[in-house]
Amino acid sequence: MSLEQILAAAIFGVMFVIITIGKWHRAWVALGGAVLMVGVVFLAVMRSPHSVVEVLNVSQLVQAKFWLPGHEAIESQGVNWQTIIFIFGMMVMVEGLAASGFFRWLCLSVAKAVRYNITALFVAFSLLAGFLSMFIDSITVMLFLSSVTIELARQFKVDPVPFIITEICAANTGGAATMMGDPPNIIIGTSFNLGFIDFVLNTGPIAWASMAVLLAFAYLVYRKHFVKTAAQAEAAKACCQPSEAILSKRLFRLQTGVFILAIALLVTHNQTGISVATIGVVAAFLTAVCAGSVKDAGHFFGRIDWKTLLFFFSLFIAVGGLEVTGVLKALAAWIASASGGDIWIVSTMILWISGFASAIVDNIPFAAAMVPVVAGLAAQGLSLRTLSWALALGADIGGNATPIGASANVVGTAISDREGYAISWGRYCKFAIPAMIIEVAVCWLLLSVRYT
């Protein structure tokens, strides 16, 4: 390896480890890695300002094919602006939905539909977590779903921890079904021009088959928690009604309309040619217009997690350093050589490595680093789509195994801890590790049958 390759790999590796430890916010750690990659590798060692410009990729933003339909797809290189702008737009839209009371209304409507039966609630809320995570970031799903779960659990005097752990796993599994479900999928989809329908038709059936297995396993493990008592029957009568959750009927109708439009644009974007960045901007703009006032619109933008956007930006620069120096190309060549170029072996390696790696490290930087590796393998004649599905399923579902495997896990367990229901690593992993292994095994079997 050359000096720049050694330094690039070392910087990224140290950054990765520090993110996993979690002592500092991952945005600042990634920013530090990006600064070192630019200052040390690109400028000090390579003496290549051109590499900095290439990785920042700002010129992409002024190209017509980045925004407008009817143009050829733009290839992702360096900073993936499609991903960043799309996530920004979805964040604004979600703030609008939350302000209208949409999420709480949805949860209470589902609870009422199953007549507040404990077993039915367990299944329904898990399915709701998986379904919503197909369209909304799983972090947001767990923010509101875990809170409502704890509220209902207190009313019914049951332990909410089994519900929350299963909802976390269901959210990550459901997120694997679409391009917008989990951040790794957004990165993969925008990098390889894979659309919403591509994911729905390929990872979708596999993810939901895994979901069925997950729920069956969860019921076997937690069934003793579902014994209905007379007190629980009385508690059902006192539950809050869905209509009480709507904070503003006008805002509720408008923001729900924006949400439906955004989903429709995403489902059809392969046919219309509208980029996901444009869809994100449209969603953010309409959300702001529907807010009713400049102050309310400013509130939506003010509540955006800007640190997460900084994290993505910095992460893409750090990964760009590995790409420009040829580290990821060498890794792709090694995988191809070790597997003999057999698509079944390569897809198996990517699926299981992604699964176990995402169990112990954040799956977003892992997926970002693996995208150029998959591209390198595809350049050697292997199926790009098969490898993309393996990476998406492994990174998303593998994140279930530990409390730090994915962002939704961190959020769900943190809310539970805050409300007085601490979830220890032991209790979480006792369920989640075997559940993850079973799910990834199902994915491996179905991938093998369908694509190899």
Contacts of 420 (CB under 8 A, 6+ apart): none
Give the residue extent of every domain in the chain: 3-56+102-245+305-451
Q: Are 147 and 165 in contact (CB under 8 A)?
A: no
Q: Helix, strand or coil for residue 221?
A: helix
Comparing CA positions, the residue from 111, 74, 273, 95 lying closest to residue 191 is 74
Share of the chain above pLDDT 70, in %: 95
The 3-class secondary structure across 245-270, one letter per residue, is HCCCHHHHHHHHHHHHHHHHHHHCHH
Distance, CA of 447 to chain centre = 21
Contact 284, 93 (CB under 8 A): yes
Q: Are 226 and 118 in contact (CB under 8 A)?
A: yes
pLDDT at 76 over 60: no
Window from 122-131, 286-295, 425-434 with minimum mean pLDDT: 286-295
Give which of 31, 37, 30 is closest to 52, Cα–Cα.
37
Residue 355 has pLDDT above 80, yes or no: yes
Residue 234 has pLDDT above 80, yes or no: no
pLDDT digits (tens, 9 = 90+) for 312-352: 899 889 988 988 898 888 888 888 888 888 899 999 999 99
Residues recorded for the chain: 452
**Alpha-carbon distance 275 to 262, whole Å?**
12
Three-state secondary-structure class, residue 341:
coil
Kindly state the average pLDDT of the residues 56-76: 74
pLDDT at 172: 94
Q: Return all residues near 113 (Cβ < 8 A) that are at least 6 apart.
A: 124
**6: Cβ–Cβ under 8 A, 6 or more apart, which residues?**
none
Contact 108, 336 (CB under 8 A): no
Give the list of residues 6+ apart from residue 144 with CB closer than 8 angstroms, or none. Answer: 98, 103, 104, 107
| Conformational region of residue 69, where left means phi above 0, alpha means psi within -120 to 50, and beta covers everything else | beta
pLDDT of residue 70: 58
Contact 65, 59 (CB under 8 A): no
Confidence of residue 157 (pLDDT cuts 50, 70, 90): confident
Flag whether pLDDT at 149 surpasses 70. yes
pLDDT at residue number 255: 93
Q: How far apart are CA 416 and CA 423, in angstroms?
A: 7
For residue 311, pLDDT beyond 60: yes
Please give, one letter per residue, the 3-state secondary structure of 273-335.
Answer: CCCHHHHHHHHHHHHHHHCCCHHHHHHHHHCCCHHHHHHHHHHHHHHHHHHHCCHHHHHHHHH
Q: Quick one: tokens of 276?
A: 């996901």
CA-to-CA dists, residue 444 to 207, 335, 447, angstroms? 11, 18, 5
pLDDT at 40: 95
C-alpha–C-alpha distance, residues 258 and 93, integer Å: 8
Model pTM above 0.75? yes
Residue 428, pLDDT > 80, answer: yes
| Span of 236-250, 258-272, 352-366, 379-393 with lowest mean pLDDT | 236-250
Percent of the chain with pLDDT over 90: 41
* Token couple for 193: 């021009």
382, 272, 59, 331 alpha-carbon torsion, rounded to 10°: -10
Task: Kindly report, residue by residue over 181-230, the tens digit of the pLDDT.
Answer: 788 898 899 889 888 899 999 999 999 999 999 999 999 999 887 766 55
* CB contact at 8 A, 199 and 178: yes
pLDDT (mean) for 147-156: 84
Separation CA 89–CA 285 (nearest Å): 8
Exposed e or buried b for every residue in 213-238, given b needs 16+ CB within 10 A?
A: bbbebbbebbeebbeeeeebeebbee
Calpha distance 191→127 (Å, rounded): 29
pLDDT computed for residue 323 by the predictor: 84
Task: Report pLDDT for 213.
Answer: 97
Over 70: is that where the pLDDT of 144 sits? Answer: yes
For the stretch 405-423, pLDDT in tens is: 787 887 888 888 888 898 8
pLDDT at residue number 126: 95
Q: Residue 228's pLDDT is what?
A: 61
C-alpha separations of 323 from 8, 155, 316, 332, 371 in Å = 9, 53, 10, 11, 10
Q: Would you place residue 398 in the very low, low, confident or very high pLDDT band (cuts 50, 70, 90)?
A: very high
| 72 pLDDT above the threshold of 60 | no
